[in-house]
Amino acid sequence: MFQSIVEALAQPYPCEHDCFHTLSIEQRTRGVTAMFRFDDAIRGWGYLPMYELAADRMYRLLQQRNDPDFRGIPVRDSACLYRRFVGFAVHEVIHAALGDTTKANYGIPWGAPYGVPDDLPAGEEAAYLDRFNREEAMAFVGVSAVSRALFGIDWSVYTARDVGTYGFFGGNALVSAIKGYRAIPHYDREHHRPRYYDLARKLEAEAAAALTEEKLADIKARFEAAETAGSARANPKRPRPEELARLAPRMPGRNDLCLCGSAKKYKKCCGAA
């Protein structure tokens, strides 16, 4: 049984941005409300949000399973509730609004971005990945604007990195592919840092230019339609957002998942010291 949104928000931990002390109670309340609305929308799109503190690890396991029918979406990779958690959620909203929500992972192939289907003809790798790169760029650069448009958020929200994760065909980096896909040589941040950042920044500039008021309105309309569908299945026992926003951070218990996202118990990871 996966953690609910209320359980996630009711266990605030100290975070690197010190959100509890740097944001007002009104802002934190708005953040909790935003996450309740996100929970409704993601369920309205037909997905199961997974709020455990191990999103990256969980996603890697899902990639290996390559299950075309799995509808879970890992949504949390840090202890931060009001800047990173909200940012992560809005990133997922953009993916859902741009993608195909009739499919697992919004239609993004589990083998992307460093692999392509085995049956894809040679020479078509770059074109195949381009669509998914552009969707990722929009989801990366659009987090702040969409946060404001959907939730009236007036504080900084963050993505996991300083640049999106893209599959740029070329270079000589290789990552093992999952079953049904073949690995492609690509530019990565470690071995081709200048080239990767040049390509990523160009892509992200194009995505930012495409994030017009009309595009924001479209994302908002899609979100609200999904929210309406999901709210019919919402937990009626949710506490008032302000109640959760007033909870002060505490360290995890020994048997809670570690804050670092390792998917290990705190006592066997960062808490071992």
**What pLDDT score was predicted for residue 63?**
94
pLDDT for 39 equals 97
Is 273's pLDDT higher than 80? no
Residue 233 has pLDDT above 80, yes or no: no
**Main-chain phi, psi angles of 169, to 5 degrees:** -65, 135
The pLDDT of residue 259 is 83
pLDDT interval class at 10 (50, 70, 90):
very high
Answer for the pair 106, 99: CB distance below 8 angstroms, yes or no.
yes
| pLDDT band for position 236 (cuts 50, 70, 90) | low
Q: How many CB atoms lie within 10 A of CB 209?
A: 9
> How much is the pLDDT for 11?
92
- The 3-state DSSP class for residue 116 equals strand
- Structure tokens given for 88: 């992560």
Instruction: Pick 74 or 256 by higher pLDDT.
Output: 74
pLDDT number for residue 258? 87
Is 172:180 a contact under the CB 8 Å cutoff?
no
**Tens of pLDDT along 179-194?**
999 999 999 999 999 9
Give the rounded percent of residues in the chain with a pLDDT score beyond 70.
99
Q: Is 126 exposed, middle or buried (0-12, 13-18, 19+ CB in 10 A)?
A: middle
Average pLDDT, the chain: 94
pLDDT digits (tens, 9 = 90+) for 161-181: 899 999 999 999 999 999 999
> Domain total for the chain?
1
Q: Does pLDDT of 235 surpass 70?
A: no
Q: How far is CA 271 from CA 57, 258, 260, 261, in A?
A: 19, 8, 10, 13
**pLDDT, tens only, 128-160:** 999 999 999 999 999 999 999 999 999 999 998
Q: Is 95 exposed, middle or buried (0-12, 13-18, 19+ CB in 10 A)?
A: buried
Per the structure, the complete domain to which residue 29 belongs is given by 5-272
pLDDT confidence of 261, banded at 50, 70, 90?
confident
27 has a pLDDT exceeding 80:
yes
